[in-house]
Amino acid sequence: MPQDMPPAGGYEPVQYKRNLPVRGFRPGWYVVGVAGIMTYGFYWYAKGIREQHEIAREKVWSRIYIMPLLQAEEDRDQVRRYLADRAREKELLGKETSPYNSDRFVRPWFAATPKDHTK
Amino acid sequence: MTARQPRFNQEVLIDTTPLPDDIPKVKEVGASSAPLMSASFFIGARCKSYNDDYMMCKHEANGRGELDCMREGRKVTRCAASVLEDINKHCIEQFRGHWKCLERNNQQMWNCRGPEIQLNKCVFDNIGLEKVIPGTPKDTIPIHLRDKQVFANPWRAYPVKRGQMPTLEEARTRAQEQAQPQQS
């Protein structure tokens, strides 16, 4: 009985490699491209941060320059109310008393209101 | 009575008693936030010594600043009022343009560079006050003199032509001049 032998000249080589076409650029170029995009983005990011610092500086100094003005107005108003309170107290009680054991200015916590405004 | 006015369901109760007569009267400034912000650097330029004096007085008054520093406070208010008066006299249109722009743009100065340039120029020419931002790094152009910015909307922030902006050299020399006094 004849044996099942390889064909004459041997088998053809087995195709185990896929023969797909390579798409796109070489991989290194993608790394370079991403790095470029990132660099561009970070450039503007850093520029924006520095600009924001300057914007914040401008805003803060514009506030600092008018703060004494606002504070002076508020303090004058507080002193006006304080002196009016003292005068009223003197008129009603006949003497001036202070609940505080110091001569500092204390913003009043409670407002004396007329008796029959709210019902 | 802390920072809030006492408020009841029927009316706002405000003590209207004026200050005693032995304390000199001063008219309050009465400007709202946007005009004050617009004029703030000019107020700072003219009134810095008064402002510092007042804050120093309050700092050293040991808690009695409200009562003891009223004299300095009046000077502060009068000085700021004089600046606003001068601006109103000489640069009313530019001033109005700038603070209305601030009102429209969330009071962000970087969105109002165009009107601000015109206001700064007018104030510098007529009153002689210049906007200086202390602490700006020496090697950079101050933010209000840059002709290009990352954040500002170019159509809204720069309605003026580019030619009206200071050139780069002008801005640089001005920045260097601004940086000089801070070193000393």
ipTM over 0.90: no
What is the reported pLDDT for B40?
96
Put simply, the answer to whether A58 touches B54 (Cβ < 8 Å) is no
Q: Is the pLDDT of residue B50 over 90?
A: yes
Q: Is the pLDDT of residue B162 over 60?
A: no
* Spatial contact of B175 and B140, defined as CB atoms under 8 Å apart: yes
Choose among B28, B40, B59, B51: nearest CA to B99: B40
Q: What is the arithmetic mean of pLDDT over A97-119?
A: 77
Q: Amino acid letter at A38?
A: M
What is the reported pLDDT for B184?
41
Q: Is the pLDDT of residue B151 over 50?
A: yes
pLDDT band at A107 (very low <50, low <70, confident <90, very high): confident
> Of residues B39 and A20, which shows the higher confidence score?
B39
Extended strands (E) in chain A:
none
Choose among B149, B147, B150: nearest CA to B169: B147
Choose among A108, A29, A70, A107: nearest CA to B31: A70
What is the reported pLDDT for A3?
82
A80 close to B (CB below 8 A): yes
Q: Is the pLDDT of residue A109 over 90?
A: no
What is the reported pLDDT for B26?
93
Q: What is the arithmetic mean of pLDDT over B37-64?
A: 95
B181, two tokens: 């006094």
Cβ-Cβ contacts under 8 Å, A108 against chain B: 1
Task: Please give the mean pLDDT across all residues of chain B.
Answer: 83
B126, two tokens: 């007529």
Q: Is the pLDDT of residue B156 over 60?
A: no
Q: What is the arithmetic mean of pLDDT over A6-13?
A: 87
Cβ-Cβ contacts under 8 Å, B41 against chain A: 61-62, 65
Distance from CA of A20 to the nearest CA of B (A): 47
What is the reported pLDDT for B158?
53
What is the reported pLDDT for B155?
56
Cβ-Cβ contacts under 8 Å, B29 against chain A: 69, 73
What is the reported pLDDT for B105?
87
Choose among B32, B54, B42: nearest CA to B86: B42
pLDDT band at B53 (very low <50, low <70, confident <90, very high): very high
What is the reported pLDDT for A66?
94
* Cα–Cα dist A91/B29, whole Å: 32
Q: What is the arithmetic mean of pLDDT over A38-45?
A: 96
